[in-house]
Structure 1
Amino acid sequence: MPKDMTAPCTRAPRLRKPRKTDGAEIWALVKACKPLDENSMYANLIQADHFRDTCVVAELEGELVGWISGHMIPDSDELFVWQVAVSPKARGLGLGKTMLLELIGRDACEAADHLKTTITKDNAASWGLFRSFAREIGGTLTDAPHFESGAHFDGHHDTEHMVTISLPSPGALARAA
């Protein structure tokens, strides 16, 4: 039997706001992107519907290959990125960073002066993505333990470090593009 000779991707994924009809496909993408925490399909549906302005999906040939869930933190000028998922089919294209740049350029995120996310110390891919993103935008990245294994997860999950990246002003971002 011949090997699967999948042609390399030659087209760039199309970025857009999610729709509530994307919920099940987002859920399946997150499940395929270990070690991401799997949320319920309903949680992904709510994110795609209620938080669509601060979330991004990437489509390639009709298939979702990327997802960022995020929200503006209440009573704060900070954007929180909950999850970044990139399908194995789209890895190596810089899609995670491209989606982050798309997100911080949106009107819904205009007031954000910092991007925050949480990462466990052993998640090298996430550290690499957010460090690269910070360098790209000229932002400063700091981190500190935030949700601690014993105090918050009853020992069932590794400590999550709060990563904070300073964001450029919207005008500076537009000039850099």
Structure 2
Amino acid sequence: MAALIAGCEIGFWLILAAGLTARYVLRLRTVGAVLLLCAPVVDLVLLVATVVDLRRGTAANVTHGLAAAYLGFSVAFGHSLVRWADQRFAHRFANGPAPVRPPKYGAAKVRHEWREWGKAVLAWAISCGLILGMIAMVDAPERTHELWPWIIRLSTVVGVWFVGWPLWTTISPPREPANRR
């Protein structure tokens, strides 16, 4: 399972790079679009493989929890990652505008941090839903006890993210230095 997760992560980036290369370097916009639409297929492969592995009777372990976390992150942040890479490729290879950078100051920075944390909450919800689904599907506590700590781990990450970024930025938003105005 760990090798499959690593393979899916590598596959995602390879498909993304191939799609952007086709779109901007080779000027094959349709091929690029098709390749970019294939990126979620990597997630589907991982999900199916995880379900098959558990249905075969394998006891859930840390890699099954990691697969759920990866899938949640990929679904919640995947579009943003593709957009981030697309902006950079367009700028580098197609004379597109400079990539948009996240805001550094004021209310725009606060909104940005809340939006990113919202994606983290979505990733948490998807991941925890998948974990709970695995636990229910296997229906054997002796084979799924390794999955419960993943809910705590993921909840801790989302909690720390909340305090360290959106809450902190809301309480004390960074202000643009006076000499930069």
Q: TM-score range by the shorter chain?
A: under 0.3
TM-score by length of 1: 0.27
Considering fraction of residues, name the structure with more helix. Answer: 2
Bigger relative contact order, structure 1 or 2, given CA contacts below 8 A and separation 6+? 2
* Larger CA Rg, structure 1 vs 2: 2
Considering fraction of residues, name the structure with more strand. Answer: 1
